[in-house]
Amino acid sequence: MLTAAKQAGAEVRAPFDADRLDRLMEDAGIDVILATSKHNVQYLLGGHRANFFDYMDAMGISRYLPVMIYPKGAPEKAAYIGHRLEGYQKEVKPFWTPTAQTSSAGSVDAIETAIAHLRRIGLRPRRIGVELGFLPMDAGARLRDAFPDAELVDALFSLERLRARKTPAELKMLRTASDLVIESMQAVIANHGPGTTKRALVEALRREETSRGLTFEYCLIAAGTSHNRAPSDQTWEMGDVLSIDSGGNYHGYIGDLARMAILGEPDAELEDLLGEVERVQQAAFKAIRAGAMGGDIYAAAEQVLATSPHRAYTDFTAHGMGLVSHEVPHLTATGPVPYSDEDARRPLESGMVISVETTIQHPRRGFIKLEDTVAVTETGHEVFGAGARGWNRGGTALSAR
């Protein structure tokens, strides 16, 4: 939603729901937000990411620190403080903020420029919302010294809630990311056969994802009877199962999926094991719809798992997805990433996106997993990247040559 404000007779439009952010800030008692994470800066700026710092933050004796300033209820006073190399991008596509300075070189001068802007607009905040996990100590100390009477509070909750419901454009990017990750996995599986190392498979996946316009982020890979998911010189051999779990980034939005492959044909036990994983996934999908409680997803999965002979070594996880893995909705307090389960007791909203993953770490047959990205809709759900769910046969393209 674009929210407009007036400044010197011109209309200022924020490329996000500024009214919603104002309400979230009011609820949290925050007067101004200084966002400093690349993902929240991207969201608040309407898609901007610094080309030069897409892969790293370190620079000389300091680090890249973008600062997006948003005073509550005053988008006409918003500002963006960026690195000097972002000036080129600003020339191509100007930022929406009335003030945009691209002259900083490190963390301290960036925050000092932000402080100067707050003073210039006459803001005397009582509570300043910052991203505590993304604010370097040197910059945080300067900010605290500049406003000794103000309280620095974590704006994480407000910013996550702002991003919770994805726009149609965001959903399109998540769908694209998911589809391209699946296409990349299928290409790697089909074009590799016996004797290929896990390291080589990961490198091949990197190339496939990159060639499709994704930024490769990671690949967790397990082969044979091993549960180890690090790239290594272990080879994929006839009869071995292969688990590929990869994240590919499309303009900041993550496609995070897992699929299974095998060299040869799966036996009846392997068919049953993957079928068990699929049954848990489908049960969880059915619980996903706008208005349903977030905890219903876990309840549905546990109902299937309760009767499974493999329950002792099967794990189920559901978490939010978007610009960040494990963003809201937060559905469990006992998952791999520590946070509270407040969304288990809240209704799901249309536009939320959830990663659903079921894993069997079988003591004899290896690591068997499916992970899917699911969007909440008004009438139910939509699965992104829904293909290749069964046993994908390795080396099929090699045998066809």
Question: Which whole-number Å values give the CA distances from 87 to 42, 90, 94, 103, 258, in the listed order?
Answer: 16, 5, 9, 8, 39
pLDDT band at 401 (very low <50, low <70, confident <90, very high): low
pLDDT band at 3 (very low <50, low <70, confident <90, very high): very low
% of residues, the chain, pLDDT over 70: 97
pLDDT, average across residues 128-154: 98
Average pLDDT score, the chain:
95
Residue 206 has pLDDT above 70, yes or no: yes
pLDDT band at 10 (very low <50, low <70, confident <90, very high): low
Output the pTM of the full model: 0.93
Q: Which pLDDT score is estimated for 198?
A: 98
Q: How far apart are CA 33 and CA 35, in angstroms?
A: 6
Q: Which pLDDT score is estimated for 109?
A: 98
Domains parsed from the chain with CATH numbers: 3-163 (3.40.350.10), 168-399 (3.90.230.10)
Q: How far apart are CA 4 and CA 319, in angstroms?
A: 33
For the four alpha carbons of 281, 286, 287 and 291, in that order, the dihedral sign comes to positive
pLDDT, average across residues 305-323: 96
Closest by CA position to 180, among listed 252, 251, 255, 258: 255
- Chain position carrying tokens 């300075």: 101
The structure tokens listed for 322 are: 């978007």
Judge if the upstream peptide bond of residue 347 is cis by omega within 30 degrees of 0: no
Eight-state DSSP code of residue 52 = T
pLDDT band at 384 (very low <50, low <70, confident <90, very high): very high
- Asked if 371 and 256 count as a contact pair (C-beta separation under 8 A), the reply is yes
Structure confidence by residue, pLDDT tens digits, 12-26 = 889 999 999 999 999
Structure confidence by residue, pLDDT tens digits, 327-369 = 999 999 998 888 999 999 999 999 999 999 999 999 999 999 9
- Chain position carrying tokens 């044979």: 224
Q: Which pLDDT score is estimated for 12?
A: 84
Contacts of 61 (CB under 8 A, 6+ apart): 106
pLDDT band at 55 (very low <50, low <70, confident <90, very high): confident
- Chain position carrying tokens 């080396």: 395
The helix/strand count (H/E) of the chain reads as 11, 20
Give the burial class of 248: count Cβ atoms within 10 A of its Cβ; 0-12 exposed, 13-18 middle, 19 or more buried.
buried
Helix (H) / strand (E) containing 298: helix 295-305
Give the burial class of 337: count Cβ atoms within 10 A of its Cβ; 0-12 exposed, 13-18 middle, 19 or more buried.
exposed
Q: Which pLDDT score is estimated for 11?
A: 75
Q: Which pLDDT score is estimated for 4?
A: 41
Q: Which residues pair with 223 in a beta bridge?
A: 242
Residue 186 has pLDDT above 90, yes or no: yes
